[in-house]
């Protein structure tokens, strides 16, 4: 017979119940064919039978049990490489025997060619000098196969050190994506565990985390701190261009500032929880030192750092602290976030955004910095202040200036000296917009001294709500020596003392707003040259009270105001000169009863006002003879008393009701 140029392998996907599968190649013996079903070798005679053995176009394999739909049947020739025919001298030399031997040779060649086609090999165009021989077993054991720069088989790189990843191309998804290597892609982020961090809460991981920070700073890779508890027994030095993403918890026993950096730029720390296990009064968490800029601290929780959560120091600018939570900064210098600088090297243009401070001494403080922003802070249960703007008294009288505070929410700030928001020495030209201050001893407090009075600060739309039954909620806004202040549309209520108090704060303005339910004064002025317009003061003890206090001239002006339903008086005006125009309900009054005794014609009455009224201000009504009012008049009006007089000596007691008032 002849040998056709046929493949020596067939493969089929079976249909349900299929039994017959053709093989298209010649076999000499039924045992020369192997049948696999789904990779498992079947047994001839038990699982299948073979037909047309010796036919050069093949035959059929018939299964004894029909296949299942989707079964993969693979049929291939696997004849033995053996020569069984032997030719002897003077023996028969038959054509059938010679043909059979030659056929077997060709069939074996086809079988070898099939195996060759399924093997890894270099193309015919490669140079013969390129070796494809494997290294010796001892050289390649436990290693990966690699190739030299010329394409030759090389001693494989160790499978454990991972550097072969630089030979594997990675194609990112997306139009226009550029190919890189697996190594480069993996090195875009690193983990502190790459440097030996354990994260079991017991092992000191300081060195490993520092090594990661150092490498991230130079490589600009993102340093990951995965879930776990990492113990640090000493400080960490933050470096420029280092980006840390923390998903774990860091506990520190360091007794000095924990994470520090001097003159760092473009560093970022995002996420995680950092806890001081052994806090001391000198300990802060993040300390951004001299001339550091463009750094970010975000989404991190800081607990029990006695000094400060985040401390941005002299000369540092354009740093951002965002969504940071600080709790337990209760030491002698404790505050959640601090911006502090002196002299001309101020910390400027820093941002504190969406931060929360609780159970601390101070919430957020800015001292000596210019153009900083505090946006949406939430402060509660602090003992010093919620947001403090203060000055460092130097030769230049530096203070916090041009700071913008937006939407501050301060609750339960208990200091009797400061307040929910505090304006201290030299803090000027600041804008406080829409704060909500609940149960603070003083909502907004301003106090100057040493010649560096706060000035030109603007407070807009504050909502201040106290608690008249507790020690908190004492005074809504209390400004002392704060020149040129502007208070716009305040809502102040339920204060256990005063609503709005201006002492020695000349040239200030109060515009609009409502003050109510204060147990003392709604609005109390002890200053000069202030303008009050559009204020509604009601249901207080005194609606508005004006007195001399600290300024020789108290020329204040009231326009378009309304007072009503105040318990004692709507308007109490002292010796200060006050101009009132178009105000409703302004009444300065007192009332009582008196008796002109029989046998007298003069009765001295104390009018109870803090100024001298005119005769026209005093109304008399005699009970016993109301139709004979003309027989009695007011005389002898003094600073504290007036006389009820009669032209005749009374023959019997005459009872009077009297009221003294001045209406505007």
Q: Give the model confidence (pLDDT) of 188-228 as tens digits.
A: 779 999 999 999 999 999 999 999 999 999 988 899 999 99
Is 279 contained in some domain?
no
Q: What does the pLDDT average to over 395-406? A: 81
**CA separation for the pair 560, 406 (Å, rounded):** 29
Question: Are residues 603 and 504 part of one domain?
Answer: no
> How would residue 621 be classed by pLDDT, with cut points 50, 70 and 90?
confident
Q: What does the pLDDT average to over 640-654? A: 88
Beta strand residue intervals within 113-248, DSSP E: 146-147, 153-154, 169-170, 180-181, 189-191, 200-204, 222-225, 229-232, 236-237, 243-246
Question: Are residues 449 and 497 part of one domain?
Answer: yes
Question: Are residues 355 and 447 part of one domain?
Answer: yes
Count CB atoms within 10 A of the CB of residue 378.
Answer: 18
Is 210 contained in some domain?
no
Confidence (pLDDT) at 627: 52
Confidence (pLDDT) at 132: 81
Q: What does the pLDDT average to over 9-23? A: 94
> How would residue 579 be classed by pLDDT, with cut points 50, 70 and 90?
confident
Q: What does the pLDDT average to over 250-272? A: 95
Residue 364 bridge partners (DSSP): 337, 387
Is 195 contained in some domain?
no
Buried b (16+ CB within 10 A) or exposed e, 444-480: bbbbbeeebbbbebbbbbbbbbbbeeeebbbbbbbbb
Predicted confidence (pLDDT) per residue in 277-325, tens digit: 988 877 999 999 999 999 999 999 999 999 999 999 999 999 999 999 9
HEC string of 28-81? CCHHHEEEEECCEECCECCCEEECCCCCCCCEEEEECCCCCCCCEEEEEECCCC
Average per-residue pLDDT in the chain? Answer: 86
> How would residue 156 be classed by pLDDT, with cut points 50, 70 and 90?
low
Confidence (pLDDT) at 96: 57
Question: Are residues 616 and 570 part of one domain?
Answer: no
Instruction: Kindly report which listed range (162-166, 361-365, 381-385, 607-611) carries the lowest average pLDDT score.
Output: 162-166
- Cα three-residue angle 336-320-284, rounded to 5 degrees: 35
Instruction: Kindly report which listed range (37-51, 220-234, 411-425, 650-664) carries the lowest average pLDDT score.
Output: 650-664
Question: Are residues 599 and 549 part of one domain?
Answer: no
> How would residue 550 be classed by pLDDT, with cut points 50, 70 and 90?
very low
Question: Are residues 517 and 381 part of one domain?
Answer: yes
- CATH code of residue 391: 2.160.20.10
Say if residues 444 and 462 touch (Cβ distance below 8 Å): yes
- Choose between 210 and 624: higher pLDDT: 210
Is 186 contained in some domain?
no
Say if residues 459 and 513 touch (Cβ distance below 8 Å): no
Buried b (16+ CB within 10 A) or exposed e, 409-430: bbbbbbbeebbbbbbbbbbbbb
Confidence (pLDDT) at 368: 85
Task: Give the burial class of 175: count Cβ atoms within 10 A of its Cβ; 0-12 exposed, 13-18 middle, 19 or more buried.
Answer: exposed
- CATH code of residue 654: 2.60.40
Confidence check: pLDDT of 120 > 80? no
Q: 12 is written with which tokens? A: 């089929």
Among the candidates 533, 552, 581, a domain finishes at: 581
> How would residue 243 be classed by pLDDT, with cut points 50, 70 and 90?
very high
Q: 274 is written with which tokens? A: 């950092």
Question: Are residues 609 and 492 part of one domain?
Answer: no
> How would residue 329 be classed by pLDDT, with cut points 50, 70 and 90?
very high
Question: Are residues 505 and 392 part of one domain?
Answer: yes
Question: Are residues 599 and 526 part of one domain?
Answer: no
Is 246 contained in some domain?
no
Tell me if residue 166 falls in helix, strand or coil. Answer: helix
Confidence (pLDDT) at 319: 97
Question: Are residues 496 and 466 part of one domain?
Answer: yes
Q: What does the pLDDT average to over 125-150? A: 80
The rounded radius of gyration (Å) of the Cα atoms in the chain is 48
Tell me if residue 140 falls in helix, strand or coil. Answer: helix
> How would residue 549 be classed by pLDDT, with cut points 50, 70 and 90?
very low
DSSP-assigned states of every residue in 350-399: -EEES-EEESSSEEEEEES-BS-EEES-EEEEESSEEEEEEB--STT--B
Element (H, E) at 560: none
Predicted confidence (pLDDT) per residue in 463-513, tens digit: 999 976 566 789 999 999 999 999 999 999 999 999 999 998 999 999 999
Q: What does the pLDDT average to over 564-584? A: 79
Is 76 contained in some domain?
yes
Domain count, the chain: 3
β-strands 48-50, 308-312 pairing: unpaired
Is 202 contained in some domain?
no
Is 281 contained in some domain?
no
Among the candidates 565, 581, 597, a domain finishes at: 581
Task: Give the burial class of 45: count Cβ atoms within 10 A of its Cβ; 0-12 exposed, 13-18 middle, 19 or more buried.
Answer: exposed
Instruction: Kindly report which listed range (25-29, 548-552, 657-661) carries the lowest average pLDDT score.
Output: 548-552
Say if residues 385 and 418 touch (Cβ distance below 8 Å): yes
> How would residue 41 be classed by pLDDT, with cut points 50, 70 and 90?
very high
Question: Are residues 571 and 442 part of one domain?
Answer: yes
Instruction: Kindly report which listed range (96-100, 191-195, 373-377, 606-610) carries the lowest average pLDDT score.
Output: 96-100
Among the candidates 555, 581, 607, a domain finishes at: 581
Confidence check: pLDDT of 544 > 80? yes
pLDDT > 70: percent of the chain: 85
Residue with tokens 């609940």: 438
- Cα three-residue angle 278-284-285, rounded to 5 degrees: 90
**CA separation for the pair 197, 191 (Å, rounded):** 9
Q: What does the pLDDT average to over 624-630? A: 59
Question: 604: domain range?
Answer: 588-663
Predicted confidence (pLDDT) per residue in 57-71, tens digit: 889 999 999 999 999
Question: Are residues 348 and 369 part of one domain?
Answer: yes
Q: Is the pTM of this model over 0.85?
A: no
């Amino acid at each position: 017979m002849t040998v056709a140029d046929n493949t020596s392998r067939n493969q089929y996907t079976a249909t349900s119940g299929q039994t017959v599968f053709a093989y298209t190649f010649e076999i000499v013996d039924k045992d020369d064919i192997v049948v696999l079903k789904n990779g498992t070798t079947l047994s001839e005679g038990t699982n299948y039978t073979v037909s047309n053995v010796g036919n050069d176009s093949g035959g059929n394999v018939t299964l004894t049990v029909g296949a299942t739909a989707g079964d993969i049947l693979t049929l291939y020739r696997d004849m033995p490489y053996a020569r069984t025919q032997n030719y002897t001298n003077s023996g028969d030399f038959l054509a059938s025997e010679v043909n059979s031997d030659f056929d077997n040779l060709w069939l074996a060649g086809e079988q070898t060619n099939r195996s060759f086609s399924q093997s890894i090999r270099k193309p015919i165009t490669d140079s013969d000098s390129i070796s494809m021989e494997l290294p010796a077993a001892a050289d390649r054991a436990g290693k990966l196969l690699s190739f030299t720069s010329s394409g030759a088989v090389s001693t494989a790189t160790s499978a454990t050190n991972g550097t072969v990843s630089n030979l594997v191309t990675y194609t990112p998804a997306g139009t226009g994506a550029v190919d890189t290597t697996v190594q480069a892609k993996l090195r875009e982020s690193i983990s502190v565990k790459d440097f030996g961090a354990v994260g079991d809460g017991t092992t000191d991981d300081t060195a490993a985390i520092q090594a990661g920070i150092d490498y991230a700073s130079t490589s600009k890779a993102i340093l990951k701190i995965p879930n776990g508890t990492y113990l640090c027994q000493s400080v960490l030095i933050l470096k420029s261009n280092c980006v840390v993403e923390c998903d774990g918890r860091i506990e520190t026993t360091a007794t000095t500032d924990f994470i520090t950096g001097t003159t760092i730029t473009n560093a970022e720390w995002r996420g995680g929880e950092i806890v001081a296990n052994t806090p001391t009064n000198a300990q802060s968490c993040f300390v951004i030192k001299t001339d550091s800029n463009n750094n970010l601290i975000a989404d991190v929780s800081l607990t029990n750092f006695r000094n400060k959560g985040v401390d941005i120091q002299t000369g540092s600018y354009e740093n951002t602290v965002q969504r940071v939570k600080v709790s337990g900064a209760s030491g002698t210098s404790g505050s959640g976030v601090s911006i502090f600088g002196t002299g001309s090297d101020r910390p400027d243009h820093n941002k504190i955004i969406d931060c929360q401070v609780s159970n601390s001494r101070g919430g957020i403080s800015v001292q000596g910095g210019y153009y900083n922003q505090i946006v949406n802070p939430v402060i509660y249960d602090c003992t010093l202040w919620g947001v403090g703007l203060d000055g460092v008294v130097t030769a230049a009288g530096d203070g916090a200036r041009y700071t913008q505070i937006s939407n501050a929410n301060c609750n339960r700030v208990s200091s009797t000296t400061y307040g929910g928001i505090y304006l201290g020495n030299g803090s000027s030209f600041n804008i406080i917009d829409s704060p909500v201050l609940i149960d603070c001893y003083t909502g907004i407090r301003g106090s100057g001294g040493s010649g560096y009075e706060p000035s030109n600060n603007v407070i807009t739309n504050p909502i201040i709500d106290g608690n008249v039954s507790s020690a908190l909620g004492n005074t809504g806004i209390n400004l002392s020596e704060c020149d040129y202040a502007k208070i716009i549309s305040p809502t102040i209520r339920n204060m256990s003392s005063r609503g709005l108090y201006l002492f020695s704060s000349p040239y200030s303005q109060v515009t609009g707003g409502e003050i109510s339910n204060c147990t003392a004064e709604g609005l109390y002025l002890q200053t000069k040259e202030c303008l009050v317009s559009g204020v509604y003061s009601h249901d207080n003890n005194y609606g508005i009270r004006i007195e001399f206090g600290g300024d020789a001239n108290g020329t204040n002006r009231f326009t378009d105001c309304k007072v009503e339903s105040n318990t004692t008086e709507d308007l109490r005006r002292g010796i200060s000169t006050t101009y009132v125009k178009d105000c409703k309900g302004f009444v300065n009054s007192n009332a009582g009863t008196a008796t002109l005794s029989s046998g007298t014609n003069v009765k001295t009455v104390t009018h109870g006002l803090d100024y001298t009224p005119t005769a026209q201000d005093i109304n008399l009504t005699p009970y016993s003879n109301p139709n004979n009012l003309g027989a009695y008049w007011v005389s002898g009006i003094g600073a504290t008393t007036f006389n009820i007089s009669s032209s005749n000596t009374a023959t019997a007691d005459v009872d009077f009701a009297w009221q003294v008032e001045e209406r505007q």
